[in-house]
Amino acid sequence: MTDQSLSRARAFIASMASDIAPNGNASENFGEYSEEVAVLAESFESGGVEALKRTFTNLPKHNPKYDLLRPASLAPKSRPKGPRMLLPGGANVPGLPEEARMPEGLGRGACPWLDDYVAMSRKWSPRGYDGFHEAIGLWVLSTIASRRVCIPLGAKMQYSMLYVALVARSGLYAKSTTASIGKRVIKSAGLGYLLAGDDYTPQAFLKSMSGIIPGNFAKLSGTDRSNAELGLAFAGQKGWIFDEFSEMIEGMRKKSGHMSNFSQILRRLFDGEEDYSTSTIERGENKIRDPYLALQCNMTPADLRSSGGRKGSELWSNGFFARVAFVGPRGGEPLNKGRLPNERFVPPSEMLMKLRHWHDRLGIPPTTISDDTDNPGKFVLERGEFPENICVFGEGVEDAFYRYGDALQELINSSENHDLDSNYGRLADIALHIALLIASLENNGVISMPIWALAQEIAEHWRANLHNIFSEINEITQTDKESVEEKILSFVDRWREQHGHAPSLREIRQHVYGASSDELKKMVEAMVLVGRLEEIPSASGRTRWFRRPVDEDGEVDEIATQKEKET
């Protein structure tokens, strides 16, 4: 099956859906879609567009290829039932070309566990932003997968790590409450040893992931010892929750600070290398075998703005933010105002058992902890081969994956906003990570077309969230606006003093920083309206100069000077 055969088949069907006789005929070779195209063409010939619609309504239940062929104009108009449909909206998000879009509703029901988790999370965090519930559910799966779910792609394996950042104003969308539910579900499933601790320096973080046997290990017994052994088996594969992520970002940006190494560490742990080693004279070598991290963090837009999220920040261009799925409401998103349950938190047993069975099926890394004969009271940790559960693409999915990635590359190529290039470049891989998790949990490792459709749908929601958040953190705040206005006034005075006349709007745009060209134009016009600036039109009307309001004598002289200069 090739992209060309599917593209030609979709173009053929799209012509019929527009009530236009398509070029060619249904007997030509459409590869593995030839039979479906012939059925649809026969429907169109017998009853036109309405008959074609009826065929699309009935046949996809028996053959998912019809959903791949369905043009957007014939997609179901009603929203899927259930609470999980998220609406992007907000910022100006460039749309995908039709050939890269998935049929609406195709991913519905592809991950029953995630549907159940979202419903449960909504109950216990009713004020949470809708997208938070889904994102935390996926982070739970990413944590439990612990590098054991993968697919070969290119020269190395792709694993299922996710970095998820919940971004919203404090007190409005229940970031911490919603995130805490994921942590409690993992612990309730008896898998708390897959979670890292709370606070680390970079050196302590690497040391813990290298598998250091705790000093009190000999004194542990029963469940405590069993959990310690399992924690060491998964020492290099952890889920980590960092509630106030902006603090880490600020520390990373101080090049000589003790937290600066986290920038490289977090990027490397996301990339799925076979091992990660660091070495210093003082501390020796820390080597992490089969490293893997599922990161969940929270921050406010104001935190992100002040700690490196502004346009032009190196965190966008160096690939750090590209590895993070930024999830959050657009400005002015309606609030959810439900009430917290007045009962003890108990996750559904079926949900927990499904996680436990999946975890057991993925396999436990073989480890042996024995006495160190050379150092009495110490122990030696030996590891066997780390288990890998390889997923496969179902029919048509590999082409859908590449169509999505190619479409994102084209959007990068046509965009003037280069800050988000790296995010777009990794988004198809992040969608694949989501698909790996769902396929492993729900479909014996086969990424079916409905599973890919759901993964791409979630990635598209996250893409819309990214644009909304990026737009919000780069809006000019009242403080910023006042600062830029002062810069404009200062520049107007300085220019007049140096050049003997007021500056034009073009000159203000060229020399005043802190706002875009369009924003500066709006600010200058607003300053004229409130009397902070005065506009001096030229005789022809082609040029406008701006100055502070002056006394009557100065005004006459300067206007005459300006008009004389233009003449």
For residue 482, the surrounding DSSP H or E stretch is helix 478-499
286-311 pLDDT per residue, tens = 788 899 999 999 998 888 887 777 88
**pLDDT value at 20 more than 60:** yes
User: Who has greater pLDDT, 452 or 554?
Assistant: 452
262 found inside a domain: yes
Number of domains present in the structure of the chain:
3
**DSSP-based three-state secondary structure for 299:** strand
The per-residue pLDDT for 68 is 73
160 and 227 share a domain? yes
Model confidence over 170-216: pLDDT tens digits? 889 999 999 999 999 999 999 999 998 887 888 888 888 887 787 77
523-539: average pLDDT: 88
Evaluate if residue 7 carries a pLDDT over 80.
no
Residue 106 domain-assigned?
A: no
Surface-to-core class of residue 377, CB atoms within 10 Å of its CB (0-12 exposed, 13-18 middle, 19+ buried): exposed
What pLDDT was estimated at residue 61? 52
Is residue 94 one of the residues assigned to a domain? no
pLDDT value at residue 82: 34
Distances (CA, A) of 451 to 129, 316, 431, 442, 457: 24, 30, 10, 9, 10
What is the four-CA torsion angle of 337, 342, 343, 347, rounded to 10 degrees?
Answer: 0
Please name every residue paired with 244 in a beta bridge, in sequence order, or none if there are none.
298
pTM of the model: 0.73
pLDDT over threshold 60, residue 484: yes
Amino acid at 53: K
Per-residue model confidence (pLDDT) at position 292: 94
Neighbours of 152 (CB within 10 A): 12
Residues 431 and 513 reside in one and the same domain: no
Report whether 9 contacts 30 (CB < 8 A): yes
Question: Do 352 and 452 have their domain in common?
Answer: yes
Mean pLDDT, residues 412-429 taken together: 90
259 and 202 Cβ atoms separated by less than 8 Å: yes
pLDDT higher than 50, residue 554: no
Identify whether residues 282 and 385 lie together within a single domain: yes
In angstroms, what CA-CA distances link 69 with 13, 36, 103, 400, 508? 7, 9, 9, 12, 53
Is the same domain home to 44 and 119?
A: no
Q: What is the DSSP letter of 79?
A: P
Residues with Cβ within 8 Å of residue 168, at least 6 apart in sequence: 129, 132, 175, 300, 301, 328, 329
Confirm whether 84 is domain-assigned.
Answer: no
Residue 140 is predicted with a pLDDT of 98
pLDDT band at 285 (very low <50, low <70, confident <90, very high): low
Identify the domain boundary among 424, 443, 473: 473
| Confidence check: pLDDT of 438 > 90 | yes
The better pLDDT of the pair 339, 377 is held by 339
The whole-number pLDDT of residue 23 equals 67
CA 333-338-342 angle, 5° bins: 150
Examine residue 99 and state whether it is found in any structural domain, yes or no.
Answer: no
pLDDT at 383 over 90: no
Which tokens belong to 64? 């998912």
Higher-scoring residue by pLDDT: 128, 37: 128
Query: Residues 519-528: what's their mean pLDDT?
Result: 88
C-alpha 311/C-alpha 512 separation (Å) is 16
* Domain closes at, from 473, 508, 543: 473
Predicted local confidence at residue 78, as pLDDT: 38
- Examine the pLDDT at 90 and tell me if it is beyond 50: no
- Beta bridge partners of residue 295, listed in sequence order: 163, 240
**pLDDT tens for residues 238-282?**
999 988 787 778 877 777 777 778 888 888 888 888 888 775 534
Is the confidence at residue 53, as pLDDT, over 80? yes
Burial class, 20, CB count within 10 angstroms (exposed 0-12 / middle 13-18 / buried 19+):
exposed
Structural domain of 496? 478-566
Amino acid 26: pLDDT = 62
Question: Using CA atoms, how far apart are residues 138 and 133, in angstroms rounded to an integer?
Answer: 9
Residue 449 and residue 520 in one domain: no
Whole-number Cα distances in Å, 410 to 97, 407, 530: 9, 5, 44
Report the C-alpha gap between 209 and 197 in whole angstroms: 11
Higher pLDDT: 473 or 515? It is 473
SS3 content of the chain, % helix, strand, coil (to 5): 55, 15, 35
- Return the pLDDT at 60: 56
Calpha distance 404→406 (Å, rounded):
5
* Distance linking the first and last C-alpha atoms of the chain: 70
Q: Same domain for 452 and 539?
A: no
Q: Which residues contact 546 (CB under 8 A, 6 or more apart)?
A: 492, 502, 503, 504, 505, 508, 524, 528, 533, 534, 535, 536
**Structure tokens of 327?**
């999830």
Contact 352, 185 (CB under 8 A): yes
Only one residue has tokens 């920038």, namely 263
Sole residue written with tokens 């007021």? 502
Any idea what the CATH number is for the domain that residue 489 is in? 1.10.10.10
Q: How many other CB atoms are there within 10 angstroms of residue 108's CB atom?
A: 17
**Nearest-CA neighbor of 386 among 191, 157, 196?**
157
Over range 459-480, report the average pLDDT. Answer: 85
Alpha-carbon span 49 to 270, nearest angstrom: 48
* 422 and 523 together in one domain: no
- Written as six digits, the tokens of 18 are 């527009």
Residue 479 is predicted with a pLDDT of 67
Do 454 and 533 reside in the same domain of the chain?
no
Residue 56 pLDDT level (bands cut at 50, 70, 90): confident
pLDDT value of position 123: 95
Same domain, 401 and 450: yes
In a domain, 96, yes or no: no
Q: Which of 160, 365, 193 is nearest to 270 (CA)?
A: 160
- Per the domain annotation, does 85 fall within a domain? no
Q: Which residues contact 555 (CB under 8 A, 6 or more apart)?
A: 534
What's the pLDDT at 458?
A: 97
The β-bridge relationship of strands 163-167 and 324-327 is parallel
How far apart are the C-alpha atoms of 395 and 398, rounded to whole Å? Answer: 8
Report the CATH number at residue 305. 3.40.50
What's the whole-number mean pLDDT along residues 333-347?
A: 91
Q: Are both 503 and 382 inside the same structural domain?
A: no
Domain boundary among 18, 46, 74: 74
pLDDT at 15 over 70: yes
Do residues 494 and 416 share a domain?
Answer: no
Whether residue 451 lies inside any domain: the answer is yes
pLDDT in tens, 214-230: 777 777 778 888 888 88
Would you say 272 and 145 are in contact if contact means Cβ atoms under 8 Å apart?
Answer: no
From 347, 364, 366, select the one nearest 186 (Cα to Cα).
Answer: 347
DSSP string for residues in 198-261: S---HHHHHHHHTTPPPTTGGG--HHHHHHHHHHHHTTTEEEEEEEEHHHHHHHHHSTTSTTTT
**Buried/exposed 430-447: b ≥16 CB within 10 Å, e otherwise:** bbbbbbbbbbbbbbebeb
Share of the chain above pLDDT 70, in %: 87
